[in-house]
Structure 1
Amino acid sequence: MNEEKKKAAQLLKTAKGQIEGILKMIDEGRYCIDISNQINAVQSLLKKSNMLILKQHLNHCVKDAFINNTGEEKVEEVISVLEKLIEK
């Protein structure tokens, strides 16, 4: 596993822990704004992990595809993912 994937996995593990904490906050009837702030923090971690995975994909899979003259398909995959990110 390369560095980008390791960092992404760690961010996702942190997000998982935060989500568990958010669920506990809801069960405890905590203040809604505090819960919302924690949800925003998790969303940020998910975005960061996604960017690391995309960076890894560009640096390895897409690069290798261009070396093997099959890069256009990989570019279309990345564009499709970016379109979904922009829509959010």
Structure 2
Amino acid sequence: MDHPHAAIARRLKRANGHLETIIEMIEGNRPCAQIAQQLQAVESAIESAKKALIHDHISHSLERSFETAGAKGRAALRDFKLIAKYL
């Protein structure tokens, strides 16, 4: 079985490889607009990985804690998941 965060690790490894390519672009004096575009892509990938990690934590780790609190806990978890979409 895969580690629970294996997909996130793969995403970050791809972003890391992309970042290395960007460093080469900088060292190769590529146009700033091209570099900025690629940096934006890496930034988005990292942001996406962070959100996936947070949502995974909410769905798995916190869910167990809230479930033991009964109906009030489930309602609180539902509200928390709803607001967490805006992270």
Q: Identity over aligned residues, as a percent?
A: 27
Provide the rounded CA distance (Å) in 1 between the counterparts of 2:45 and 2:6: 14
Residue 67 of structure 1: how far off its partner (Å): 3.1
Letter paired with 2:54: L
Counterpart contact for 1:7–1:52, Cα < 8 Å: no
Structure having the higher helix fraction is: 1
Q: How much is the aligned-residue C-alpha RMSD, in angstroms?
A: 2.1
Provide the rounded CA distance (Å) in 2 between the counterparts of 1:7 and 1:51: 13
Letter paired with 1:60: H
Residue 61 of structure 1: how far off its partner (Å): 1.1
- Gap runs ≥5 in structure 1: none
Segments ≥4 residues shifted beyond 6 Å: none
Query: Computing the radius of gyration over CA atoms, which structure comes out larger, 1 or 2?
Result: 2
Q: Is the aligned partner of 1:54 residue 2:51?
A: no
1:41 matched to which residue of 2?
A: 41
Provide the rounded CA distance (Å) in 2 between the counterparts of 1:37 and 1:13: 19
Residue 68 of structure 1: how far off its partner (Å): 4.2
Provide the rounded CA distance (Å) in 2 between the counterparts of 1:24 and 1:68: 52
RCO higher in structure (CA 8 A, sep ≥6): 1
- Gap runs ≥5 in structure 2: none
1:16-51 deviations in Å (ceiling 9; x for gaps): 001101111111101100000000000110111111
